[in-house]
Structure formats: C-alpha cells, structure tokens
Amino acid sequence: MKVVSVYQAEGMVLCHDITEIVPGKFKGRAFKKGHVIRKEDIPKLLTIGKENIYVWEVNDKTLHENDAALRLAQAVAGSGVTLAEASEGKVEIKAGISGLLKVNSAALEKINDIDQLAVATLHANQVVEAGKKLAGCKVIPLVIDLEKIKNAEQLCAACYPVVEVKPLQSCKVGIVTTGSEIYYGRIKDCFGPVLTEKFGQLGSSILQQIIVDDDIDMIADAIHRLLDAGAEMIVTTGGMSVDPDDVTPAAIRTAGGEIALYGAPTLPGAMFMLAYFGDVPVLGLPGCVMYHKSTIFDLVVPRLLAGEKLVKRDISKLGYGGLCLNCEECHYPECGFGKGS
C-alpha cells in the first residue's frame, strides 16, 4: 500500500471505499475498495477532495484480484463448463452442459494449499444440469503475487482437468427381470417402470426387457440374447440376496464375462454386482433399487454412462458417505449420500 497523487493513480487499485457526501442529496460510496482507477475517475476523485489516495500497486509481479481470479478459474476449468464474470475477486464456474461433474479433489487440495487462493466446489460424481453452479475460485487479497497464480496454473496443467462436466452417452439398455413371482404372473413387475424412468432421466432408453424365472440358465441366456440384440448396458433385477432362489449373481457368473465386484458399501445397494462383457457393463440390481428413491444405481450408472470403467476400488470408496438416511423427502444429490467418492 502506498500514497499516490490522483494524477498518477491510473491503473492502480484503491485500498478502501471512498465516500461522497452531497449535503441534502447523497451520502454513499463513490468508489469501491478494489476499484481499478481509470483516467476518467480522476476529476471525480478531485471533486470529492482526494488529491492523494492509498493504492495497491499493480506491477508486472502482481495481479488485481479479479484478473487473478479469472486466471485461476481458467486454469481449474476443463471441458463442459463456463466461467462467469469476475467480481470481488471471485469467478464462478458453471456447468456448460448437463452431465457428470468430475473434480480432481487431490489437485484441489494442492491448489488450496497455495496461500491466498481458495477454490470451493460441489462434490464430484453427481449429475448436474447445464447452468448449475459448480465451483467458486477466489483470490483473498486485493492484489496478489503473480507467482502464486503461476504456481496454481502449473499445478492445474499437470492435473488437467480439475473441474469438468462429462456428457452422458445415450445407451440402449437391456433389462433381465428375475423372479418366479413375476414370471408366473403372481405379481406385476414394478422394476421395469422404475428403470425406464431412471434411464430416461439420464438420456438412455430401454432396448428390451426379458422376464425370466429364478433359473441360472434362463437368466444367463437372457443376458446373451440382449448382448446379441445390441444392448450397450444390461441390468438384471432381483434375486441378488441370500435366499435359495436368489440365483442372479450365479447366473451372471455363468453367462461369462469379467466380474468386477459383488457387494457394495452403500445402503441401500449392498447386494449390487458389476460385471463386464467386453465393453458392456452388466449390473445386478438388488430389490432396494426398485423401492428406494436413491441407491447404488444413482451413484454408479451416471458414471458408466459417462464412459468410466468402474473397478472394485471405485466402489470401495463409496463406503464413506454411502449411508442413505432415508429421509421422508429425498433431496439427493443435495445430501451426503455417495459424496465420499
């Protein structure tokens, strides 16, 4: 901070608000702290009686908070996002498209370890609509050392992207609904409509649903029929638990393919299975997915649709934050469920 004559103040940054009083008419802020003084401000400052002012000097080693925040946000931003205008040393990052929010949380911690920088984001791995606020990038002082921004830029370049929105692919989904009670028409299928709705909301559609008995060969055969029909993702429903008639995991194993995992640290959704037949994910969905509003389905399927190949480790990470409180009105994703990943 230094004192300068207003005549020399162009391009410098005001250190404090400047108040103007016009008797009987006005009392308020004429210039805001942080304002970059322009040539045309000089006569006005003189009429308020300011021949000398306190300024932060912006030189080639420093940056004004707004310029610095913009550079920080540009460094943090990957694809699928837009930047808002800089204001008060802050730039917001918004979703430019609807899709899956990804945040490199390890890189984020390193950026925030740099003194005088602050980047705050939403939790990763949630589906966001275009226009949603995802992150705020803030510079703490009015004027910051350029070196700090350069450090952040280097870090972001090495960990690119820190924040991005991945588009969801539109998949043709095959459903294998298991259960003697459905197959013999003792009760009506309720899983199909739930899945049609959920996949529809994610931009995917149901190719075909095959209803089968609790029979390993029938289930395995249905999986292969759907693969042959061109399904890009297959979900099997029910029969995922421990009763003698719960044969879906055995059927998925029998059908072949690579088993990624059986059992997930999420409640609801513990009896989940994930397997791959080449590039086609085959999911074993327990009964809870039909019943509860938000489950393992909502944590896993958007990531698969965003093109991620999930392995056991990805699912293990879901345990921290994997407990749904089963609120009367579900606010997911605006809650802690699934936020540990």
191 binds, options ligand MOO, ligand LQZAQKY5, none, Cβ within 5 to 8 A by partner type: ligand LQZAQKY5
* Size of the residue set binding ligand MOO (CB under 6 A): 7
Query: Which residue in the set 271, 290, 315, 318 belongs to the binding site for ligand MOO (CB under 6 A)?
Result: 271
Q: Is 318 left (phi over 0), alpha (psi -120 to 50) or beta?
A: alpha
Q: Which amino acid is at 318?
A: L
Question: Is residue 270 within the footprint of ligand MOO (CB under 6 A)?
Answer: yes
For the chain, the 3-state helix, strand and coil shares in percent, each to the nearest 5, are: 30, 30, 40
Q: How far apart, in whole angstroms, are the C-alpha atoms of residue 118 and residue 130?
A: 24
CB of 297 to ligand MOO, least distance (A): 10
CB of 145 or CB of 181, closer to ligand LQZAQKY5: 181
Question: Is residue 259 within the footprint of ligand MOO (CB under 6 A)?
Answer: no
Look up residue 323 and give its DSSP letter: B
**Burial class of residue 195 in the structure, from the number of CB atoms within 10 Å of its CB (0-12 exposed, 13-18 middle, 19+ buried):** buried
What is the DSSP secondary-structure string of 11-53? T-EESS-EEEEETTTEEEEEE-TTPBPPTTHHHHHHHTT-SEE
CB of 116 or CB of 241, closer to ligand LQZAQKY5: 241
308 binds, options ligand MOO, ligand LQZAQKY5, none, Cβ within 5 to 8 A by partner type: none
Question: Is residue 302 within the footprint of ligand MOO (CB under 6 A)?
Answer: no
Question: Is residue 187 within the footprint of ligand LQZAQKY5 (CB under 6 A)?
Answer: yes
Question: Is residue 269 within the footprint of ligand MOO (CB under 6 A)?
Answer: yes
The dihedral sign for the CA sequence 111, 112, 116, 121: positive
Q: How far apart, in whole angstroms, are the C-alpha atoms of residue 270 and residue 266?
A: 5
CB of 161 or CB of 268, closer to ligand MOO: 268
CB of 12 or CB of 290, closer to ligand LQZAQKY5: 290
181 binds, options ligand LQZAQKY5, ligand MOO, none, Cβ within 5 to 8 A by partner type: ligand LQZAQKY5
